[in-house]
Amino acid sequence: MINEDSPIVPLVQSEDVQTAVKTAHALQVGGLSVIEVVLRSQAAMDCLEAIASGASDVIVGAGTVLTANQAEEAISKGAQFIVSPGLNEEVVSHCKAGGINVYPGVVTPSEVQRAWNLGLRTVKFFPAGLSGGVPMLKALSTVFREMRFMPTGGVSAENLQDYLALPSVVACGGSWLTPQKEIDAGNFEAVTGLARDALALARQARS
């Protein structure tokens, strides 16, 4: 689901369904086909459902999932993967039982080890910028050599290549690709441009 073929996972947050759909389309035009709809608004589930049903070539996941019930609702709305800010064993177990990929947030070695023991091999590293960034990921990777990470939180165009240059980083998540100011102005071309620029940076880093 999230792998080296999708090195950037943009975050979509909106109070309006049509705006969310337009944002997802703008990202897709820019070359990004894996999108995380964060559950931080009253309309988030409706936005998730609209994107999932209206964009056949886009893989849509739900982010900021805090409980197993939220995960179940998101899956019923079309979420193809689940992302959590922290490591909740009930969410992980629920998703694994249903065959849904889940990426819980971790920061410390103890959390990474718990995730490993739960059978996970790809996790979210969050909040990346405040938790040591690239140096911390390098340290974790020397111990957990088969674990892959998706840093999110503080990732930007300026440091994207630094993260993606690490062999242990499978992808980066970020909201810099969906600036609220541009979206409020209806400037979805700007979102497409940011997506294209980020994808070009990712390809350079991976080459």
Residues classed as catalytic: 36, 124
Whole-number CA gyration radius for the chain: 16
CB 61 within 8 A of CB 38: no
Peptide bond into 127 cis (omega under 30): yes
Distance of alpha carbon 191 from its chain centroid, rounded? 17
Residue in 90, 158, 150 with CA at minimum distance from that of residue 126: 150
Residue in 48, 62, 47, 36 with CA at minimum distance from that of residue 174: 36
Beta-bridge mates of residue 8: 172
